Amino acid sequence: MKNREISKNLIYLSKFLYFYFFSSISNKELPNRPHLVPSDFVGINIASNDNEETDEYIFNKIQELSIKNLRIYFSYKDFNTHKQRIINKCKNFNGKLIVNLSVPPEEAHLISTESGLLVWKNFITKFFNEFRHIPFDIEIGSTINRKSWTNLPYKSFFRIWSVAYHIVKLNNRRIIGPNITDFEPHVNFGILAQLKNKHQLTDAQSNNLFAERTIEPEPFDHRVLSRFFSKILKIDLYKKSSIYKFISNKYEIKKIISSNAFWSIKRIGRLRDNPQDYQAKYLTRYFTMLAAKGDFDQIFWGPLICQREGLINDNTDESEYPELEQVTFYNQAKGYLSSYSHRPSFYACKFFNSLIPGSTFIKNYSSIPEIQILEFEKNDRVIHVIWTMNSHISDIFDFYLPTSIDRAEIKNYLGNNIESIQSITENPYFLIWHVQDRPTIIQKGKVISDLVVDPKLNYFHLHDPQWTGIIQADDKNTSDLIINHCHPSILSVPDQVSSLRKSRNAVWVKNIPGYGKVVIKKPLKIYAHKIFLNRNKPNKSMRSWNGAMSLLNKGLNTADPIALFSLKNDKSQLENYYISRYVEGFTFNDLAQHFFNQNIFHGFSKREIFEQCATFINKMHSRGIYFRDLSAGNIIIIISNRSFDFSLIDTGRIKDFNNRLSFQAKKTLRFADMVRLLNKFDWEVRNIFLKKYFQLNNRKLSIFNKFTFLKYDLHVSFKRFRKTLYKK
């Protein structure tokens, strides 16, 4: 059976690729035509539970969100349950209802038999008899390209489709399908071709258009062939949308629906500390991009109420999450009404739905995925939705005149008023003008090349004829204070005595009155071959800034980046400054010396410190950070009020994979950090650290794992020996 499915997929793929490469679809598609965004653009998947009060709660929330499209999963055992109850209550719903009729996975294998198919036919017939008074469309198919979820091979899908098609048409209803999950357009293409041959073509093509796998909505999909080919094929959300539109046009299907899409709190939380905020951002960015593209008629979010994906958190334990994927079959709203709580994504959806559906998309002011500037018009108002991809930044005054920004009403993605903005970041902003004040865009959208930022912070840009720069500060007055004392034109490198370090880099401390101490770092010497090899890379100060920002983005402590300045057109790569907060604390060098004679450090034992350190370093690796220079001098222990924490400094060599460092696949990188960190400590400390680190990864520490440390010990000893000989 498995080989048959693989063979079918290969046939679908070959036919789709032929279609793809001999049509204009291969050209990159951007939003490029004015169009009306449907007023019922947004939909939501709903399910209730045994408590009938939940029904009222759900419809109240749907009304609060102003959503006009509902979708419900229904299967064999759902008669005389909360599913039947809530469908009956949809009779008075002022919108559209899609019911996805599904075969229970445990009975899917019976579809290959005549008796099993008869059960399916009787189910469809009974459904229409029970709900003939309710207006609805029927969707057949739910993630059918994931047989491990549905237990439904393609052959069985065509059997259930054929039965359903005739009953649906007999009842003068629309049929929708085939609901393919993720980006696998060849399956849509192949299935629609077969349905056309059977004269059973769908009234609307459905696909999940799942974007979660790209982490954020905008990037080129790295899971299409590979990360390398993603930059060649350039298949982003816009192009995916275009591909499905081409497929629909090929088969003369007028409507396209995305039945289910979401960002899971659990998946976001693997990389971020504030996953609920990111879910809200992604919802806004995803909906806005598809509204601007104009190919899809309706876009459904996943479950309304759910602990992982819901706009409303049911606050149940992770252990209560259902085994069957919610995207395949959303069965019920778990938990209790008293424990339900709105997530930020609820308010993001509510605000988006109040502003963009029913508007006219006018223009796209960017041609790169890193930044979006999208213009809509509604009720004599011009609306610009602006944002960048994660961790990017752009100076808003590169695109807008200050007078235009002053006249705009500014709101964030939750609908809250914002007094002023200086930068465009990953946080979507809505700029709203009256049509008579329509702004003029100075140039096409772009981001500051190679610069990484933490979106939780505020940024101000240095506008100087000789220098480029960015300052992280709470307000304009603080930014001006930093510039007045640390403008690169007035900074000078102190002598050896007054510096913390002065060799390849100069590092010194400066006190800013009314602000505090900062650490300034400037490169002094770069070898000629390094200048050549690094000519297309960020300068050293920018690499330090980016490393620190990557740590902050992942919820890891570091000395706060304050400012970055670079001389324009600097060929030497020496005229740049990185400024960070001065951090008071003890380095691990201090720990190594202290633990050489004593077992307690400021009231904390070795076990307390190094088990917590192992947790900190594992969090760093799990969130995709490879430090590359994790020496004992670059990790600081900060002690306050009988507790302690860790902070990382000297961040210029950090590599951010933006994905989890798999313990198995990236084990070498993980160990490369740990051997440097623990080099100065004895095996008592190492064993405490490693035992905890391995335990956090559900692994057992073995003698073989220690060979890497012994090898590095020999390397360091030999290096010291060479230095001694050189000095003699």
Cα 441 to Cα 152, 364, 396, 603: the distances in Å are 52, 11, 10, 60
pLDDT at 327 over 80: yes
Residue entry with tokens 């629309």: 174
Architecture of domain 586-727: Orthogonal Bundle (1.10)
| Cα–Cα dist 434/378, whole Å | 10
pLDDT at 1 over 60: no
Write down the pLDDT at residue 507: 93
234 pLDDT band, cuts 50/70/90, is confident
Q: pLDDT per residue over 182-198, tens digit each?
A: 889 999 999 999 999 99
Q: Which residues contact 553 (CB under 8 A, 6 or more apart)?
A: 272, 390, 391, 452, 454, 455, 656
Written as six digits, the tokens of 561 are 């980046």
727 pLDDT band, cuts 50/70/90, is low
Q: pLDDT per residue over 440-450, tens digit each?
A: 999 888 999 99
672 pLDDT band, cuts 50/70/90, is very high
| Cα–Cα dist 395/409, whole Å | 18
Q: pLDDT per residue over 336-383, tens digit each?
A: 999 999 999 999 999 999 999 999 999 999 989 999 999 999 999 999
Angle, vertex CA 288, rays to CA 184 and CA 290, nearest 5: 30
Write down the pLDDT at residue 2: 65
578 pLDDT band, cuts 50/70/90, is very high
55-59, 76-80, 283-287, 316-320: lowest mean pLDDT where? 316-320
Write down the pLDDT at residue 211: 77
pLDDT at 20 over 90: no
pLDDT over 70, % of the chain: 98
Write down the pLDDT at residue 535: 84
H or E stretch covering 11:
helix 2-21
Architecture of domain 45-357: Alpha-Beta Barrel (3.20)
Cα 392 to Cα 237, 370, 425, 452, 585: the distances in Å are 18, 7, 6, 5, 31
pLDDT at 252 over 60: yes
Report residue 690: phi and psi, to 5°.
-65, -40
Collapsing DSSP to helix, strand or coil, 138 comes out as: strand
* Region 6-33 average pLDDT: 83
* Region 26-45 average pLDDT: 90
* Region 625-640 average pLDDT: 93
What does pLDDT average to over the chain? Answer: 93
Q: pLDDT per residue over 391-426, tens digit each?
A: 999 999 999 999 999 999 999 999 999 999 999 999
User: Is the domain 361-437 a CATH 2.60.40 member?
Assistant: yes
Write down the pLDDT at residue 664: 86
111-115, 293-297, 657-661: lowest mean pLDDT where? 657-661
Q: pLDDT per residue over 471-526, tens digit each?
A: 999 999 999 999 999 999 999 998 887 788 888 899 999 999 999 999 999 999 98
Q: pLDDT per residue over 144-155, tens digit each?
A: 999 889 999 999
Q: pLDDT per residue over 269-320, tens digit each?
A: 999 989 999 999 999 999 999 999 999 999 999 999 999 999 999 999 998 9
Who has greater pLDDT, 468 or 728? 468
The β-bridge partners of 585 are none
Using alpha carbons only, how large is the chain's radius of gyration in Å? 29
pLDDT at 248 over 80: yes
* Region 459-467 average pLDDT: 95
| Cα–Cα dist 683/678, whole Å | 9
Detail the DSSP E strand segments found in 262-415. Answer: 298-303, 312-313, 341-342, 360-364, 371-378, 381-388, 394-395, 409-412
Report residue 683: phi and psi, to 5°.
-75, -20
Are β-strands 96-101 and 69-74 bridged in parallel, bridged antiparallel, or unpaired? parallel
